Chain A
């Protein structure tokens, strides 16, 4: 077979193999990406054509108080979840990795299990746990604050409690990554440190922490991006309330598009989230890389 013929066949095969994926990518991903950008410069309703209005949607965003509230709540939620979940996952991973055999498998299963649940199952269970009248956690809240609190209807409690629910739900994923990271640390390093008379505390800060840093950085980055995309839990537990105290960017996008019929404006909101996530992930990736190199 001639080279030219073989080359033609390779190209045909490549086209056949890449084709289905590329087609799906084009129609259901790249085209919508283009469409969201285009829509954000129009006054289109959700369904139907709109007029080109330039940057008017973005100008409107800059004067939209609710939008600032949403952005602030997103960052507040990031603050409440990202570092706490990373620390909790690290502690659990350190504990689990000290165990052996069946005991280790059992404990890991218990900590990981919530991660596979659908979000609405998680919120149903926690809404019941924290039910104002009959919730089993209310006595605990009463013991601390002196009275029962309808947590998802209270502006001070709503975000921290959604954070607790979210950490409970997603933490297992981080635990797994941390355990994998711990397993990759060569044991002879610990033996050498022990021979040198290092205390457990020193072994953690001089061996575990620096060698685990790449995984910790990965967990932090993945969590940051994930938690900025908060919607499901808020929608299911508080619908953004009370008094917009749990209103977040995707909640606003949802309401503008699907309840107020402002497709163009909703697209502008989506674009801002898009930009925030791209900037934050690039920045954080760079920062964490520098931090890791210095160690």
Chain B
């Protein structure tokens, strides 16, 4: 082994140790959740994952409203993702391919809306939801989260890049604009659609502030809000708290591990950086 190889291995090992320290909080949460409550608070229990006790998980699943919060989170996040993608895609198509009065103004508003800090609108949005009678409902959670300007901007960039000749061919065959969008532009951009869908879903799933404001009844809460309620009723039961935290995070962690490439692609594209 040359000196250079040895240096490379040492370097890799060093980075691996740093990464292990970085992820330690998650490891520690998992280890804690798999222990009995007594063991968790006993002296000298060690940091090794030497116990696989799932009682905390069973307890949390049967004694909290977690299943209900899952349903609320899955439902609202899915609806948000579908509506955001469809409306954003159609708007981007029109901005990219059609000429109509107000096109420039609309694009400027979409780009400019980036600068508005969304939480600054929460008071007014709350009043609006209350006027519409949507406090403590799915639609109350969903509606203000439907504005995701980055989806429009990204789609527009990708639609702009499609050669005009392909368009002409479809038009000659007698296809209309909707045919063009759903038979040509969308299929050419499935990759970016998947990426945008994942990132929209994750941010809707993780949103805390808005659902926290608009939902007060425990049975309507989403996961990130719901699990903060249990905090108060459990007292100091750490294994159960960590089981709860990990159950709440499981869908996004698993989703990320499966769609890793898409997630990283989406993060980069939405920040305006080419990977």
Contact = CB atoms under 8 A, between A and B. Distances in A.
Interface in B191-205: 202, 205
Given A128-B29, A250-B119, A183 B252 contact: no
B235 interface: no
Interface in A186-226: 215, 218, 222, 225
A176 B227 contact: no
Interface stretch (B49-57, B58-66, B126-134): B126-134
A107 interface: yes
Interface string A85-116: 00000001001101100010011111111101
Residue among A47, A103, A110 with max Cβ neighbours from chain B (10 Å): A110
Interface in A229-262: 229, 231-232, 236, 250, 253-254, 257-258
A271 to B, nearest CB: 7
Contacts of B26: 113-114, 125
B121 to A, nearest CB: 4
B9 to A, nearest CB: 10
B263 interface: yes
B179 to A, nearest CB: 11
B41 A266 contact: no
Interface in B227-275: 227-228, 231, 238, 241-242, 244-246, 248-249, 252-253, 255-257, 260, 263-264, 267-268, 271-275
Nearest to B248: A121
B33 to A, nearest CB: 10
B125 interface: yes
B32 interface: yes
Contacts of A25: 109-110, 113, 147
B15 A95 contact: yes
B79 interface: no
Contact of B123 (A31, A46, A96, A125): A46
Contact of B12 (A103, A129, A281): A103
A52 interface: no
A36 interface: yes
A136 B267 CA distance: 33
Contacts of B110: 25
A124 B106 CA distance: 42
Which interface class (under 10, 10 to 19, 20 to 34, 35 or more) fits B? 35 or more
B98 A14 contact: yes
B152 A215 contact: no
A111 B22 contact: yes
Residue among B100, B124, B228, B271 with max Cβ neighbours from chain A (10 Å): B124
Nearest to B244: A124
Contacts of B144: 28, 32
B206 interface: yes
A120 B264 contact: no
Contact of A273 (B90, B120, B125, B225): B120
Interface stretch (A16-24, A63-71, A144-152, A153-161): A16-24
A138 to B, nearest CB: 13
6 contacts: A32-B128, A114-B23, A119-B224, A229-B119, A257-B126, A270-B122
Interface of B: 11-12, 15-16, 18-20, 22-23, 25-26, 28-29, 32, 40-41, 47, 83, 86-88, 90-91, 93-95, 98-100, 103, 106, 109-110, 113, 115-117, 119-128, 130, 143-144, 146-147, 152, 176-178, 181, 202, 205-206, 208-209, 213, 223-225, 227-228, 231, 238, 241-242, 244-246, 248-249, 252-253, 255-257, 260, 263-264, 267-268, 271-275
Interface of A: 9-11, 13-18, 20-22, 24-25, 27-33, 35-36, 39, 46-47, 92, 95-96, 98-99, 103, 106-114, 116-121, 124-126, 128-129, 131, 133-134, 136, 168, 173, 176-177, 180-181, 183-184, 215, 218, 222, 225, 228-229, 231-232, 236, 250, 253-254, 257-258, 263, 266-267, 270-271, 273-274, 277-278, 281
Given A24-B87, A113-B23, A267-B124, 18 more contacts: A10-B177, A17-B90, A17-B94, A30-B109, A32-B128, A47-B127, A110-B19, A116-B263, A121-B224, A121-B246, A125-B28, A125-B245, A128-B29, A128-B32, A128-B242, A136-B28, A180-B268, A218-B272
A-B pairs with lowest CB-CB distance, top 4: A21-B91, A32-B124, A35-B124, A14-B100
